[in-house]
Amino acid sequence: MELCPFCKRDPFHYVDNGIGYEAVAVNCCDLGIDLYRGNKAVQKILDLRRSYSPRKKARAKILMEQYA
C-alpha cells in the first residue's frame, strides 16, 4: 500500500471489480492529486522536502504555502 507523501494517507479510491479491488481514482490532498497527475512544481516541492538540507526544507515549506 502506497501513502501520499504530503498527507500520509492512502491516496487511491478502490472499487471491487469482481476479482479484487482496483484503484480507480486519486482522492487525496490537493498536492497529492497534482503529484499523481505529474505536476513538476509539486515534484520539486517533494524533492526539496526529502533533502537533508535545512535550507531546502525551508524552501519547500515556502513553496507549499504559495501553492495552497
Grouped pLDDT means (10 residues each) for the chain, 68 residues: 87 92 90 91 94 96 88
Instruction: Provide the domain limits for residue 20.
Output: 12-67
- Does a structural domain hold residue 5? no
17 lies in a domain? yes
The answer as to whether 42 is a domain residue is yes
7 in any annotated domain: no
For position 2, what pLDDT does the model report? 83
- Res 67: pLDDT: 83
What residues have CB less than 8 Å from 11, skipping those under 6 apart? 2, 3, 4, 26, 27, 28, 32, 33, 36
Q: Using alpha carbons, list the distances in angstroms from residue 2 to 56, 59, 60, 62.
A: 25, 26, 22, 26
Q: Flag whether 32 is in a domain.
A: yes
Question: How many distinct structural domains can be found in the chain?
Answer: 1
